[in-house]
Each structure stands twice: as structure tokens, then as C-alpha cells.
Amino acid sequence: MLPKQYRCGTPMNKVVVRPLSADDHHWVREVVARDWGSPLVISPGGLRDVSSLPGFVAVSQNEPVGLVTYEMHQSNDCEVVTLDSYLPSAGVGTALLDAVTDHAKNEGCARLWLTTTNDNTAALRFYQRRGWNLIALHRDILAEWRKLKPSMSLLGFDQIPMRHALELELRI
């Protein structure tokens, strides 16, 4: 099956989204460590090494321009663990979410879900514009998560103290 293709940015800037392969794991580990402070990511779903998770990579002109990782849960849902776009406002994040949504539908999932921190207002705007609903506030949970991942920052975007996790879902 050919990878699904998305047009992003200019009409000439084609982005191909494909599943991660074993050859991508080293790159995933490096890029997540760079962007998230560690290849370990924590959420209500647990602490995971993201480089071992399935996902999709967006590629344009033979260069990775985005990454999404996910985890399928026994409860018939799919958790989006990380989402990163390296071409802001070009549709890469949306294309990656579409790929995960298509995969989850094919696997019989009823919903996608994810968490973000209270400081990440850009992510909240991004997901809500795409139909995701805010369903839970995990108040002060980052203090607990820092026990498992001490490298987590105390301050986030715009110097907002990182204290809470916000859970969003998309019914599919």
C-alpha cells in the first residue's frame, strides 16, 4: 500500500506520511530527547520510551518534518503520546493526526485521546480547532510525574508554571 500523501505549505511542497520503521527508532529517540528533554514521556497512560512506540513520520523533500507516536490500549482506544511538527502552520500536524485517526479506525478504536500540560495553550487551540474535546483536568499531577521523570521543567511556554495535565479526546 502506498503512503497517504498530503499537500502542505505551497502547492509544490508535498508531504508524505508513512509509518515509522525500525530504521527510524534512533532518529525518534534523538528528536524526542531534543524536543521533550528525554526519550521518556509520561502521561496518564504511563511512562514510556517513545522510541519503542509505533507512529508516523511526515517527510518532505527527503527530510523529516513531523512525528507522531501513539499507543493502542486494551480499552479500545488509542493514545496520541507525542506530536511534533517542524513546519509550523503548514498542515503537518493535521496530516499526522489524520494518519493516526485512520489507523485507529482500522483497528476498531472508538476514540483517540491525549494529554497536554496547562502551559501549552497553542496545543489546546490546535486540537480544539480539529474537533477534540477537553474531558479532564488532572490537577497538580505534574508533581507526581516529576518523581518518575525529574527532568520535567517547572516552567513551560510563556513562563507559565507547569502543574496540570489536560486530557482531550476525539470520538471516531
With a cut of 70, say whether residue 13 has pLDDT above it. no
With a cut of 80, say whether residue 10 has pLDDT above it. no
User: pLDDT digit string (tens) for 23-35?
Assistant: 998 999 999 999 8
What the block records as the C-alpha cell of 11 is: 502547492
User: pLDDT digit string (tens) for 112-165?
Assistant: 999 999 999 999 999 999 999 999 999 999 999 999 999 899 998 899 999 999
Alpha-carbon distance 157 to 163, whole Å? 12
Range of the domain at 36: 4-171
* 7 vs 81, higher pLDDT: 81
Question: What separation in angstroms does the CA of 99 have from each of 32, 35, 42, 83?
Answer: 19, 21, 22, 12
Task: Report the relative pairing of strands 111-117 and 77-85 from DSSP bridges.
Answer: parallel
**What's the pLDDT at 89?**
83
Alpha-carbon distance 102 to 25, whole Å? 22
DSSP 35-65: HHSSSEEEETTEEEEGGGS-EEEEEETTEEE
Alpha-carbon distance 12 to 144, whole Å? 46
**What's the pLDDT at 1?**
43
Alpha-carbon distance 67 to 83, whole Å? 6
* 2 vs 51, higher pLDDT: 51
Number of domains in the chain: 1
- Specify the CATH number for the domain of residue 82: 3.40.630.30
CB atoms under 10 Å from CB of 34, counted, come to 11
